[in-house]
Amino acid sequence: MGGQSAGPICADQHDFALWEKRVDALMVLCSGAGFFTVDGLRRALEDMGEEAFETMSYYERWIAAINQNLVETGAYTLEELGQRMDEIAARGPTYAAAQKEAGTDGASHG
Amino acid sequence: MPHDHHDHDHTHDHDHGGLSPSGHPYRADNDAPLSYWQRMEIAVRELMIEKGHLTADQVSAQIDRMDARSPANGAAVVARAWVDPDFRARLLADAGDASREMGFDIGPLHLIAVENTEDVHNLIVCTLCSCYPRNLLGLPPDWYKTREYRSRAVREPRAVLREFGLDLPDSTTIRVHDSTADMRYIVLPARPSGTDGMDQDALAALVTRDSMIGTGLPRQP
Amino acid sequence: MGPAMAERVRVKAMMPPGHVRTPSYLRGKTGVIERALGPFPNPEQLAYGLPAPEQPLYRVRFTMSEIWGDAAERPSDTLDAEIYAHWLERV
């Protein structure tokens, strides 16, 4: 996007939420473990297109790109992901309530 | 108006009211309705842990490592360069090694320091994504990741700097550095006048994050 | 092998689809090698999970007038970017 015309720069700043910090950590750890490269992450981000840039937040785009790379490399299957996301939705209405309880394996948690 | 950072979160800020200890609004997080992308983060993390690719401890340790990085690290490097000419030379030769020499855990970061002088002002941007010397300075500020900054910094850096309150004379050459590939950049700002005799810690307190990106100057003593 | 320091180079103007680390606004523009950075794996291969032979990487300095023409704020201001050797041709 270098050189395109754009409006004033918004200087608002926020603290990162825990879930955002976890996305950042997943990127560092999964790329460090060889599941994908930073370039793979960037490629997936670019492939999401302009609309994603306008409608999703920074770390929303990152987790989508991390997931895309992990699926491509076979770290888990789409079925596993879909099932798990449904289970998580059933755990509770907020991010805190949707965390797996300590000591459970999550697979049978409802 | 396109924003790279979360108009919807600004809405949530009103739900939260107050500010965090750092003076920034809290993000919608633990008590807001669970979002699709938050569910994906939880799912990815759990699956990677269950399959033995990661541990929960690794995730929390990585968050701690990132939280420990801040512009204060870069400020210490800059202040040392201001008082120690040999270190300054090493910093300009290889800023990564010079930072490691000071004990900063910057991982495999390839870091280049670009020096501001009387005649030259440097400005850092990443037009392709959000490359930033994060292993030294911590995570980039929100504005650094915006479409507005990334689009304009390479084409009208002087107008951008004026928005940041920095009106540079025409006699100053601006050098913009687009972090397009494997290098990351830090600006070595010029030491402010009137700081003779200040020790390294006092000097470091003058070095702002923005002065190391090039969108600001160090504080005056 | 690659260009020597201070040698003039032009960024290839090609526009392949997919992930590249050569900004569009520099395609076809002429600059000067500011420094050689050494070999790095080709990101265009890395991005797709492929074996990535190393490519020499250079910092190339462009004048704002070369990039933006009359729209440049101050023609002799400069922009430096890292460009891989396979995107550069000698002028």
Per-residue pLDDT for chain A (110 aa), expressed as one digit of tens each? 899 889 999 888 888 999 999 999 999 999 999 999 999 999 999 999 989 988 999 999 999 999 999 999 999 999 999 999 999 999 999 999 999 875 444 444 33
Does residue C32 fall inside a structural domain?
yes
Is C36 within 8 Å of B112 (Cβ atoms)?
no
Catalytic residue among B22, B60, B130, B179: B130
Say what the pTM is. Answer: 0.89
Asked if B45 lies within 8 A of A26 by C-beta distance, the reply is yes
Full domain range(s) for residue C50: 8-90
Question: Tokens representing B15?
Answer: 């739900």
> What confidence score (pLDDT) does residue B29 get?
57
SS3 B86: helix
Binding site feature residues of B: 126, 129-131
Question: Domain limits of chain B?
Answer: 7-67, 70-213
> What confidence score (pLDDT) does residue A14 get?
82
Chain B: partners with 3+ C-beta pairs within 8 Å: A, C
Question: Domain limits of chain A?
Answer: 49-93
Catalytic residue among B20, B35, B60, B129: B129
Report the distance separating Cα C49 and Cα B3, nearest Å.
31
Q: CB-based contact (8 Å) between C48 and chain A?
A: yes
Among the partner-chain residues C25, C46, C67, the one whose CB lies closest to the CB of A37 is C46
For residues B149-176, average pLDDT: 97
Does residue C14 fall inside a structural domain?
yes
Question: Which residues in chain B have their CB less than 8 angstroms from residue A33's CB?
Answer: 53-54
Task: Give how many domains chain C has, as a whole number.
Answer: 1
Which residue bears the tokens 């200040």? B198
pLDDT (tens digit, 9 = 90+) per residue, B19-62? Answer: 454 555 555 555 689 999 999 999 999 999 999 999 999 999 99
Query: What single-letter DSSP state applies at residue C63?
Result: E
Residues in chain A: 110
Does residue C79 fall inside a structural domain?
yes
SS3 B28: coil
Report the distance separating Cα A86 and Cα A88, nearest Å.
5
Q: CB-based contact (8 Å) between B93 and chain C?
A: no
Q: For B70-213, give the CATH class.
A: alpha beta
SS3 B71: helix
Catalytic residue among B99, B126, B179, B211: B126
Does residue C22 fall inside a structural domain?
yes
Which residue bears the tokens 């409608």? A55
For residue B37, the Cα-to-chain-centroid distance in whole angstroms is 25
> What confidence score (pLDDT) does residue A12 get?
80
> What confidence score (pLDDT) does residue A15 get?
86
Q: Which residues of chain C have pLDDT under 50?
A: 1
A11-15, B15-19, B102-106, B160-164: the lowest-pLDDT one: B15-19
Does residue C62 fall inside a structural domain?
yes
Does residue C12 fall inside a structural domain?
yes
Please report how the helices B36-50 and A18-32 are oriented relative to each other, as an axis angle in degrees rounded to 10.
40
SS3 C34: strand
Q: ipTM above 0.90?
A: yes
Residues in chain B: 221
